[in-house]
């Protein structure tokens, strides 16, 4: 026997509504008539159908796997979870880890206030514990971690050619995670998130999963 109020829309239409909301970032007042439902029903669908779409973090990695981590800021209106950052008035910081070869997203850390530095965000978001000892490439903003970073230039030092070549290669490989961010942020919810509480986290995880499905074909 079904418990609770039955859905007015079939599952495929509820999934489409959630995807349309993330993709367009229309208000519920604008989106609900397009789906043939009420504003309150659309809000309930997004709150209950969105979380099950979340990407599940990969638990195991092959011995020779190389990962890339990057942090991205999402403008977020819920000031209880967001803070002022250098790029946006209020935002949340998201640590995203991809497989360097396949470019699939494998881990998305929990959102943190946008004023966290990369070192703290890497640890506090849970991304560090999720990847364990797997080799992970990062930019130069995480000194004191086990992440693979470019060589730093000291004042007055002329770096040898091999170091410059290594840094160039490192930059080219790490750019892959920036390309992933660019693809994910075509989903407009990640440009101005109005969701409260865990909503921004669910949206980021759901979009990461949809990105993986698109990439994998």
What's the per-residue H, E or C state across the chain? CCCCCCCCCCHHHHHHHHHHHHHHCCCHHHHHHHHCCCHHHHHHHHHHHCHHHCCCCCCCCCCCCEEEEEEEEEEECCCCCCECCCCCCCEEEEEEEEECCCCCEEEECCCEECCCCHHHHHHHCCHHHHHCCCEEECCCCCCCCCCECCCCCCCCCCCCHHHHHHHHHHHHHHHHHHHHHHHHCCCHHHCCECCCCCHHHHHHHHHHHHHHHHHHC
Per-residue pLDDT, averaged over 14-30, amounts to: 95
For 150-182, write each residue's pLDDT tens digit: 877 766 667 677 677 888 888 899 999 999 999
Lowest mean pLDDT among 43-47, 125-129, 147-151: 147-151
Identify whether the C-beta of residue 12 lies closer than 8 Å to the C-beta of residue 23. no
Is the pLDDT at 117 greater than 90? The verdict is no
Is the pLDDT at 7 greater than 80? The verdict is no
For 32-63, write each residue's pLDDT tens digit: 998 889 999 999 999 999 999 999 988 899 99
Is the pLDDT at 3 greater than 70? The verdict is no
Is the pLDDT at 31 greater than 90? The verdict is yes
The overall pTM is greater than 0.75: yes
DSSP element (H, E) containing 94: strand 91-99
What share of the chain in percent tops pLDDT 70?
Answer: 94
What share of the chain in percent tops pLDDT 90?
Answer: 71
Residue 39 is predicted with a pLDDT of 93
Per-residue pLDDT, averaged over 96-122, amounts to: 94
Per-residue pLDDT, averaged over 84-101, amounts to: 91
113 beta partners: 92
**Quick one: CA dihedral 76, 80, 82, 84, positive or negative?**
positive
Residue 156 is predicted with a pLDDT of 63
């Amino acid at each position: 026997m079904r418990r609770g109020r039955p859905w007015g829309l079939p599952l495929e239409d509820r999934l489409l509504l959630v995807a349309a909301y993330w993709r367009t970032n229309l208000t519920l007042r604008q989106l609900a008539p397009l789906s043939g439902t009420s504003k309150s029903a659309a809000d309930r669908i997004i709150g209950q159908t969105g979380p099950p779409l979340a990407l599940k973090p990969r638990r195991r990695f092959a011995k020779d796997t190389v990962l890339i981590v990057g942090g991205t800021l999402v403008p977020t209106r819920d000031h209880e979870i967001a803070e002022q950052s250098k790029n946006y008035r209020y935002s949340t910081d998201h640590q995203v880890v991809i497989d360097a070869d396949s470019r699939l997203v494998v881990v998305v850390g929990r959102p943190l206030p946008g004023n966290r530095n990369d070192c703290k965000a890497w640890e506090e978001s849970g991304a560090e514990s999720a990847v364990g000892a797997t080799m992970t490439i990062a930019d130069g903003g995480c000194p004191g971690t086990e992440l693979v970073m470019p060589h730093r230039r000291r004042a007055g030092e002329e770096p040898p050619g091999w170091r410059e070549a290594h840094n160039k290669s490192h930059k080219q490989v790490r750019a892959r995670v920036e390309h992933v961010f660019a693809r994910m942020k075509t989903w407009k919810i990640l440009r101005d998130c109005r969701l409260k509480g865990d909503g921004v986290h669910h949206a980021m995880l759901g979009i990461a999963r949809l990105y993986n499905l698109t990439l994998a074909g």
